[in-house]
Amino acid sequence: MNGTGGYALPDLAYDYGALEPAISGEIMELHHGAHHAAYVRGANSTMEQLHEVRARGDYSALAGLERALAFNLSGHALHSIFWRNLSPEGGDRPDGELAAAIDEFFGSFDSFRAEMTAVTGTVQGSGWGVLAWEPVGGRLVVHQLHDHHANFAVTSTPLLVFDAWEHAFYLQYHNVKADYIERLWSIVDWSDVGRRFDAARAGRLVGLTEASGGE
């Protein structure tokens, strides 16, 4: 064990075209095969460079590598969650304890949906809208991430993530991000979000290293 690499691009549980018409196959292929893959390469490369820093005892490049580490590792994790949050059979609303918790902390599902839509739609530059479990307060929260890793509370565990980067929608929706977000709601796999909710409350993080549906 030398602390290098080990991150891998996860397979999708569906074909690139399976989320059409909400998300085009062209976007999915580029988003997964090029963008997500680049974050995985970046995470591995940064780990290797950190290993070299350690071996040389020369820490002059450390600040930049630390930024690269947070950016690439968070990008890898967020996309791994994003693919599994979505499904061709998705849509509708959550049920069970997740639905009850959304009502408790946001007032209603419609209120939560409006907040999540707004937080995703108002990202300045690149970022994400995130529904997360915040264990210190024992509550659901919505975060607005900048890039992949800023403006996020270290306590929180992401449950549902909406990619608001232009690469996620521009080829299909051009500058109308609101239409893309509206369509995202039609493909949310609430069973996956509920599984993450159950695990997060039990202090576990699931669904980062395996194909959709596994533990």
The residue among 112 and 162 lying less far from Mn ion, judged by its C-beta, is 162
CB of 77 to Mn ion, least distance (A): 12
CB of 166 to Mn ion, least distance (A): 9
Count, residues near Mn ion per rule CB under 5 A: 3
Binding residues for Mn ion restricted to 17-56, rule: CB under 5 A: none
Binding residues for Mn ion restricted to 134-193, rule: CB under 5 A: 163, 165, 168
163, 125 Cβ separation under 8 angstroms: no
- How is residue 61 written in tokens? 């490049």
CB of 31 to Mn ion, least distance (A): 6
CB of 18 to Mn ion, least distance (A): 17
CB of 79 to Mn ion, least distance (A): 6
| Closest residue to Mn ion using C-beta atoms | 163
- Classify residue 182 by burial, with Cβ atoms within 10 Å: 0-12, 13-18, 19+: middle
The residue among 90 and 194 lying less far from Mn ion, judged by its C-beta, is 90
The residue among 10 and 94 lying less far from Mn ion, judged by its C-beta, is 10
The residue among 23 and 140 lying less far from Mn ion, judged by its C-beta, is 23
- Sheet hosting strand 127-134, strand order edge to edge: 139-146, 127-134, 157-163
The residue among 163 and 189 lying less far from Mn ion, judged by its C-beta, is 163
Taking each helix axis from N to C terminus, what angle separates 190-201 and 62-85, rounded to the nearest 10 degrees? 130
Q: In the complex, which residues of this chain contact Mn ion (CB under 5 A)?
A: 163, 165, 168
